[in-house]
Amino acid sequence: MKARKILTEASARLEERGVDEAGLNAEWLLADAMGVPRMRLLAEPGLPVSPEALKKFNGYLVLKEQGLPLAYILGWQDFRGLRINVDKRVLVPRPETEELAGLAADFLKTREGDLTALDYGAGSGAIGLWLAKEFPALKLTAAEKSVRAIACAKGNAVQLGLAARVKFVRAATLAPVRGRFDVIVSNPPYIPTSVIPGLAPEVLSEPHMALDGGSDGLDVARMLAEKAPSRLKPGGALIMEMGERQAPKMLAAMPPSIWKEKKTFKDLGGIERFVFAQLGA
């Protein structure tokens, strides 16, 4: 059978089951099952699909229908051009988090001397590992509460050849984290607990610990805002990703006597998504 026909049928099947972006999911999954780049599949839709590839693809479709994120099925997610391995141990890095990493990079470019960064709540390690790749002299600390996530992030660090510059710390607060950093960057869990049961099945298949930010979603962010000054170098910055309407609330709770500059940044969707706060020099 030809790829074109399989894709058409699979897209219709996924759409019927309420899967978002059914066509895109089908393309990625068939390309993976066939072992060809997705772009080749699109350019040559007349490619024949072997029985083995078709069997694999049908298995993928069942997983997708069950609500598994595409990245878990493929086993990886692209993050600013880096291939980050992901599975059920970690949150799938989101596009807005790529923007967060970009903000941290912009800030690091303004710093001099030995660069150090803390990725707090590192999950798969995407943010910190991308920064380490961008800044070849950067020393990265990746702190994370979940042992399973740390194992995943370590695997990514090794695969990307960055392990020598990354220190992993198991932490539920900043207490076990040693050193001072130019930047603390974090995408903390920020979904209010009461909202979680209503989330889409795909999101609910990700680790609860990666989602649940407590009653107003700000538990971890608030802890970071309070304790970060003790872990930042003079002039260092805390940069965090937040949920909708959380960033202004967070900024208001950060005293101007401590933070020399405080501002929010919008994401590409126009949502005030990121908090940037810098200490005085």
Ligand X SMILES: C[S@@+](CC[C@H](N)C(=O)[O-])C[C@H]1O[C@@H](n2cnc3c(N)ncnc32)[C@H](O)[C@@H]1O
Residues of this chain that interact with ligand X (CB under 6 A) are 90-91, 93, 97, 121-124, 126-127, 143-146, 149, 171-172, 187-189, 207, 209-210, 220
Q: Mark out the alpha helices in the chain (DSSP H runs).
A: 3-16, 22-34, 38-43, 51-65, 70-74, 95-108, 126-134, 147-159, 201-204, 208-211, 219-227, 246-252
Residue type at 95? P
Q: Which is nearer to ligand X, 26 or 90 (CB)?
A: 90
Is there a contact between 238 and 228 (Cβ–Cβ < 8 Å)? yes
Q: Which is nearer to ligand X, 47 or 196 (CB)?
A: 196
Is there a contact between 128 and 134 (Cβ–Cβ < 8 Å)? no
Closest separation in Å from C-beta 205 to ligand X: 14
Closest separation in Å from C-beta 209 to ligand X: 4
Closest separation in Å from C-beta 218 to ligand X: 12
- What is the C-alpha separation between 208 and 111, in angstroms, rounded? 36
Backbone φ, ψ for residue 67 (5° rounding): 95, 15
Q: Which is nearer to ligand X, 49 or 101 (CB)?
A: 101
Q: Which is nearer to ligand X, 41 or 93 (CB)?
A: 93
- What is the C-alpha separation between 134 and 183, in angstroms, rounded? 14
Backbone φ, ψ for residue 93 (5° rounding): -60, 140
Is there a contact between 152 and 87 (Cβ–Cβ < 8 Å)? yes
> What residues form DSSP beta bridges with 276?
239, 263
Q: Which is nearer to ligand X, 82 or 149 (CB)?
A: 149
> What residues form DSSP beta bridges with 116?
139
Q: Which is nearer to ligand X, 1 or 199 (CB)?
A: 199
Closest separation in Å from C-beta 192 to ligand X: 13
| Residue 109 falls in which region: left (phi positive, over 0), alpha (psi -120 to 50) or beta | alpha
Closest separation in Å from C-beta 144 to ligand X: 5
Q: Which is nearer to ligand X, 147 or 164 (CB)?
A: 147
Closest separation in Å from C-beta 224 to ligand X: 9
Closest separation in Å from C-beta 215 to ligand X: 14
